[in-house]
Amino acid sequence: MTHDIVVLGAGPSGSVVARRLAAAGARVALVGAASRGGWEGLSARSRTLLAEEGIDASAGVLAGPCARSGVWAEGRAVEGLEWLVERRRLAAALRGGAVQAGADFRPDTAMHSERVAGQWHVHLRAGALLRAGLVVDARGRRGPQRRGPLLLAVGQQFRRQPAAQSGTHIHATDFGWCWWAERESALWVQVVGRPRARNPAAWLAAAAAQVPALARALDGASAQGELVARPAHARLGVAPSDPTRWQVGDAALALDPLSGQGVYEALRGARLAATAIQSVMNGGDALAAHRFIAERREEAWQHGVSVAAAFYRESGDRGAFWSGTAAAYEALLPNPVESAERAVAARIERRPVLDEGRIFERDVIVTAANPRGVWHIAGVPLVELREYLERSDQPTVSAAAAVFDRPQSAVVSAIHWLQTTGNLLQQIPPRLSLGG
């Protein structure tokens, strides 16, 4: 069977990409087996993105908001709110949305994919062969990468007497940190640490021995199912060299769970990838679209690494796990002196931008406050406006409005933006004013 796109991996990210592309009219095959179990705590903005993907309160997938409490560095109390979701239920709900949008779901495993005569051939375990012009890899952590310190998350489901109220808790230990969630008679406990430091199977008991609140939560609880272990280190996947191959989810970017951005970035990245792929299918430049995605991943990576480094450094006096992990993350950050020097002056660069649903290369103005670059204000292209103002003997707002086919008020807004950047205009003609 021939498709436009084959998405490898039917987890949340793969399903979001498949739904959006199928809804846009593409013939999409979504290939993947069942997700692994476990619970996640979601932020308010992750919940907002899920609502936009059809997973709102009425879907019955999210629980909350739940109070979050805990104790962190030097006894500092942790407070907040988060929503609870079970991984399998979330994946199934998003997968259902993709199917409803028209995606061809194959509950199978992709064994091998290759380019043959300008098409991708994807061989499934059950024997089927799928053909498509584009492939999206959403199968998790695999392939070349840049990564942070190696971390492992070990989780276990428990049953016990119903809790008085739902809630989540986070605490630091001397060998890692633990997070647990209580909802009715269900309890999920997860501990994050270094896999070689001690036997991961003993982490839950070791954490309970150090955290009285966790010991109380586990009192009388019985384990349900097997212990679940999954990688927890931050990683940035190396972008594919083939412009017809894309990455989303953990295949593209995974953040340390302590940074609190993992689910949000996975959903956001999947949506951006779907937009970029649509741009290519509508005639946009594939290399520009890949660069657009790569730049935003790099920005999210640097932010996530910075947040994680700060959290681990805050508890650095607790022992080698904390100080060593903080130092490893800090080593991934750019040199602060070089970054400061580069951010001093506004500059013009050629970068990919999103313009009416398609991605193109444009001249943008990069500043410390706008590291991605700004290419227009109110529809007026800034670099072209700057060139017009500096080469014209008698520039006027009305003339500029005619040149760029924009209202005079839009031109004034763009000129004001250029003025406030400090070093972009050699001279601001004093006669430039609305109607001048």
Convert the pLDDT of each residue in 254-281 to its tens digit.
Answer: 999 987 778 899 999 999 999 999 999 9
DSSP annotation of 4: E
> Which of 368, 376, 380 has its CA nearest to residue 421?
368
Cα–Cα distances (Å) from 318 to 59, 114, 225, 329, in that order, read: 42, 49, 33, 17
Task: Reply yes or no on whether the pLDDT at 436 is more than 50.
Answer: no
Tokens of 68: 């979050």
| Confidence category of residue 430, pLDDT binned at 50, 70, 90 | very low
Angle at the Cα of 11 from the Cα atoms of 311 and 280, rounded to 5 degrees: 95
Residues 171 and 218: beta-carbon distance below 8 Å:
no
pLDDT band, very low/low/confident/very high, at 433 (cuts 50, 70, 90)? very low
CA 256 vs CA 132, 233, 242, 260, 355: distances in Å: 34, 5, 28, 8, 32
Structural domains in the chain? 2-147+234-324 (3.50.50.60), 152-231 (3.30.9.100), 347-421 (no CATH)
The confidence score (pLDDT) of residue 78 equals 83
**Of 218, 18, 226, 255, nearest in space to 137 by CA:** 18
Give me the percent of the chain exceeding a pLDDT of 90: 53
Alpha-carbon distance of 118 to 12, in angstroms, equals 29
Contact assessment for residue 117 and residue 66, using Cβ atoms and an 8 Å cutoff = no
Closest alpha carbon to 407 in 365, 362, 377: 377
Are the C-beta atoms of 158 and 218 separated by less than 8 Å? yes
Question: For the chain, what is the mean pLDDT?
Answer: 88
Q: How many helices (H) and strands (E) does the chain have?
A: 12, 22
pLDDT digits (tens, 9 = 90+) for 133-177: 999 999 988 888 899 999 999 999 999 888 777 799 999 999 999
Q: Give the separation between CA 203 and CA 175, rounded to whole angstroms.
A: 9
Q: Look at residue 163 in the predicted model and tell me its pLDDT.
A: 73
Q: 73-123, pLDDT tens digit by residue? A: 777 888 888 999 999 999 999 999 999 999 999 999 999 999 998 899 999
Please give the C-alpha separations between residue 9 and each of 98, 107, 421, in angstroms, as whole numbers. 12, 10, 45
* CA 204/CA 218 separation, integer angstroms: 10
Contact 68, 77 (CB under 8 A): no
Q: Which amino acid type is present at position 335?
A: N
